[in-house]
Structure 1
Amino acid sequence: MLNMISGYVALHRSLGRKFSAQDRLLRLYADFATGFGDRYTNVQRIYDWCHTSSSQNVARHRFDTVRNFSLFAQAEDAGYEVPPAGVFGRGKRPRPTPTIIEPDQVRAIMTAALDVPPQDMISPHTYHYLFGLLAATGLRISEALALQCTDLVEDGLIVRNGKFSKQRLIALQPSTRQALEAYLAMRKKLGATGSDLFVSIRGRAPTKTRAHVVFVRLARHLGYRGPTGKSGMRLHDLRHTFAVRSLEACPPDREAIAHHMAGLSVYLGHASVANTYWYLEATPVLLRDIAAASEQLYRGEAA
């Protein structure tokens, strides 16, 4: 187990994280479990160890740390057991597990958006291009809806309404710029007015709630999401997908990965690079693939 912990910690440190607290807790758990002869994580042993904590918050922190490690370790060796989430409560409302949206699903949703009523008006085109921009750039929906026509500049898009009032400039692929210019031409053709970049028939940007409702209805209609009351694909998953695809494209080099994470954090407008690491932890397959690439690199260096 200690070798697996060392690999897990080394992976996170290769990505630029200190990971000291997690390293200490995992080794404390390993000492506890080894005393019972365990070679792998064991659900009941995790519970027993967490129950020795001095408070509920400490127990929850211990549990989450070992559970995240167990998810990673089980991808390498099925002998590691993973306990269910939330056994010791949740300090904050948990982030939903992201749905990675496939390119053909994005295209299908964008196409279906063109059938949103009222036809022969600007709204169907607004949702078509809005969803396309979110998929192509990873913008938050609030950032996209706050864009003004004047924010499309020669160097890209000026995002003025970022989280924590942060402003940034994001570069655009030529195809994305052409799509936005096509949308502006459609606005002019249909006589849509207003300073907001994306507008409804009232000349103002749709609300976040309305954009979410339209997206979910389209996803449900296309069979990408279950019936009302069931969780599934969400509008925010376009942002998740952008981040994960970006990380998947990262070259298997420790320094390159660290630089990529830092750059992606700025691009996405995260307050801290720690928020960007969540995309790794929330996507075990991606974490496993990067771990495999890092191990291969390590073996090459050792040779």
Structure 2
Amino acid sequence: MLIRHVERYVDYRHKLGVGFEEGEHTLTLFARYADEHGDSHVTIDRIHEWCSQACSPERARAKYNLLRRFSLFLRAEDPGHAAPPIGAFGCRRRPRPAPHLFEPEQIAAIISAASALPGRSISAYTYHCLFGLLAVTGMRVSEALALQRSDLTHDGLLVRRSKGGGSRLLPIHSTTRDAVEAYLNRRNRAFSISDDLFIISTGRAPDRSTVRKMFVCLARELGIRGPVGTPGPRLHDLRHSFAVRSLEACAHDYDAVRRHMAALRDYLGHSSILHTYWYLEATPVLMRTIAAANEDRFVGGVR
């Protein structure tokens, strides 16, 4: 039965500190499918057959790559399991979407609109504080929604559920602390069945999909995003904007940029500084600075 192997693999990934909920779901579905066909080992034919039923090429690639790692894990103990080749469903990755860089006035408008949401529940205060916190810290929305009340410490915000399973401490400005504490005073008077920092009328934190929809709705109402069906600014662009604007602040001091890149990598919770360097491409201000620096070096070399 492959399902017991899935359980072992999931336990192994959890012990590594990796959030693996989606992977666990996918592997469980595959194991049930393989068990229905009487498979005792993972085979390449069964992997291809199952992945070919995916709803899109991107999804098929993701499933195949997950099953390939799972099968190699099992093969280390039992060579009867397959060793699927790399890239059988393609190696192409979707290009990263171009970030939208919010102007301070746009962020202020969205935060203000959130506080004016109708109703008497805590939700309006939650979205107001949540969007503001994302804008001034560059946190991932999943990290913010996982915060507990006790995670606001004397030294900053303790992010326990970062991407990849790590944790980090975010120092925050005194004005940010004041805003979060003011929200907490309201939140603590509201009905809650959890210790989540951010809650809505259910007494629990909203899910990411709900928060994203709320953000897009407010952005459309303010004319910052176009009508339904058209691309535009996303909630994640608050993170992009934070990273790029902070780099722009020291754009003309190359030593400061180098120091800032390392600090920004840790602050944003990137696993590699390569992910942080991507933000250098996101704004004409930074690109002009990079071009000018290269031109100066080239001219200096010619002389």
> What TM-score range do you get, normalising by the shorter chain?
0.5 to 0.7
- 5 Å-filtered alignment, 1:206-217, equals 206-217=206-217
Work out the number of aligned pairs and report it. Answer: 214
2:262 is matched by which residue type in structure 1? A
The equivalent residue for 1:108 is 109
1:110 is matched by which residue type in structure 2? I
- 5 Å-filtered alignment, 1:153-172, equals 153-172=153-172
Shift of 1:189: 3.7
1:226 is matched by which residue type in structure 2? G
How many angstroms apart in 1 are the aligned matches of 2:146 and 2:105?
27
Unmatched segments (≥5 aa) in structure 2: 1-89
Task: Give the conservation status (yes or no) of the 8 Å contact 2:98–2:282.
Answer: yes
How many angstroms apart in 2 are the aligned matches of 1:294 and 1:186?
52
Q: Does 1:225 align with 2:225?
A: yes
How many angstroms apart in 2 are the aligned matches of 1:301 and 1:153?
51
- 5 Å-filtered alignment, 1:110-149, equals 110-117=111-118, 119-149=119-149
Unmatched segments (≥5 aa) in structure 1: 1-88
Task: Give the conservation status (yes or no) of the 8 Å contact 1:114–1:124.
Answer: yes
2:130 is matched by which residue type in structure 1? L
Task: Give the conservation status (yes or no) of the 8 Å contact 1:113–1:127.
Answer: yes
Q: 1:148 to 1:299 in 2, by over 3 A?
A: farther
- 5 Å-filtered alignment, 1:1-303, equals 91-117=92-118, 119-192=119-192, 194-292=194-292
Moved over 4 A (4+): 293-303
How many angstroms apart in 2 are the aligned matches of 1:185 and 1:299?
59
Q: 1:218 to 1:255 in 2, by over 3 A?
A: same
Identity of aligned residues (%): 55
Deviations 1:18-44, CA, capped at 9 Å, x for gaps:
xxxxxxxxxxxxxxxxxxxxxxxxxxx
Q: 1:197 to 1:90 in 2, by over 3 A?
A: same
Deviations 1:247-279, CA, capped at 9 Å, x for gaps:
101253333222211111111000100001111
Q: 1:114 to 1:275 in 2, by over 3 A?
A: same
TM-score (norm 2): 0.66
How large is the Cα RMSD of the aligned pairs? 2.4
Task: Give the conservation status (yes or no) of the 8 Å contact 1:126–1:200.
Answer: yes
Deviations 1:139-170, CA, capped at 9 Å, x for gaps:
00000000000000000000001010010001
Q: 1:181 to 1:295 in 2, by over 3 A?
A: farther
1:179 is matched by which residue type in structure 2? A
How many angstroms apart in 2 are the aligned matches of 1:236 and 1:270?
15
Deviations 1:83-104, CA, capped at 9 Å, x for gaps:
xxxxxx9821111111100111
How many angstroms apart in 2 are the aligned matches of 1:138 and 1:237?
9
Shift of 1:295: 5.2
Task: Give the conservation status (yes or no) of the 8 Å contact 2:252–2:289.
Answer: no
How many angstroms apart in 2 are the aligned matches of 1:301 and 1:295?
10
TM-score (norm 1): 0.66
SS in 2 for 1:164: coil
